[in-house]
């Protein structure tokens, strides 16, 4: 039983550490440096950024590194396209002019979503353990390995 509680606890901790995030509009507020941001790209931006990032960019997500009166410098983590495709990036730095962008969002930790996800995960594991389905994996159920019998031994020359 201790092992099952340990597995449930580790799972709950993993969900809490991963957390759930949501995008909050940053209307009229400049996001803090270092924060995760998402920019909607407008038609002007698609034309200007098309040769380097793809012609059908819908959103650019990354960490805000610098903000000047002329542009944003971000470390790009994801590019989303108009027709639903997603392309992961590995932190390449891109300068974006404000006239290329529509709405700006900040990626914020969501306490309520994290609590709900943790409750569902822990509840699901608890239900599996209680039903005995998970018992063999946790070493709680079933007979221990039987002792080998002479008939079960294989002799090797």
pLDDT in tens, 44-84: 999 999 999 988 999 999 999 999 989 999 999 999 999 99
* Least confident window among 15-24, 37-46, 115-124: 15-24
Phi, psi of 64 (to 5 degrees): -75, 120
E strands present in the chain: 21-25, 36-41, 57-67, 72-81, 86-96, 101-109
Over range 124-152, report the average pLDDT: 59
Q: Which of 104, 99, 96, 109 is CA-nearest to residue 67? A: 96
Residue 97 CB contacts under 8 Å (≥ 6 apart), including other chains: 45, 48, 70, 71
Task: Return the pLDDT at 7.
Answer: 65
CATH code, residues 17-109: 2.30.30
Q: Residue 59: beta bridge partners?
A: 40, 80
pLDDT tens digits, residue range 80-133? 999 999 999 999 999 999 999 998 888 766 666 666 766 777 677 667 667 766
**In contact, 58 and 82? CB cutoff 8 Å:** yes
């Amino acid at each position: 039983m201790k092992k099952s509680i340990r597995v449930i606890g580790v799972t709950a901790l993993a969900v809490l550490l991963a957390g759930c995030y949501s995008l909050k509009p940053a209307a009229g507020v400049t996001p803090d440096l270092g924060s995760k941001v998402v920019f909607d790209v407008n038609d002007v931006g698609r034309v200007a950024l098309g040769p380097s990032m793809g012609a059908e960019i819908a959103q650019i997500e990354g960490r805000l590194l610098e903000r000047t009166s002329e542009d944003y410098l971000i470390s790009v983590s994801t590019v989303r396209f108009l027709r639903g495709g997603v392309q992961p990036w590995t932190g390449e730095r891109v300068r974006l002019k404000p006239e290329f962008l529509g709405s700006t969002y900040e990626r914020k930790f969501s306490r309520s979503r994290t609590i709900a996800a943790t409750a569902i995960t822990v509840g699901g594991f608890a239900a599996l353990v209680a039903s005995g389905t998970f018992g063999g994996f946790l070493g709680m159920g079933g007979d221990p390995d039987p002792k080998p019998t002479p008939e079960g031994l294989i002799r090797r020359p």
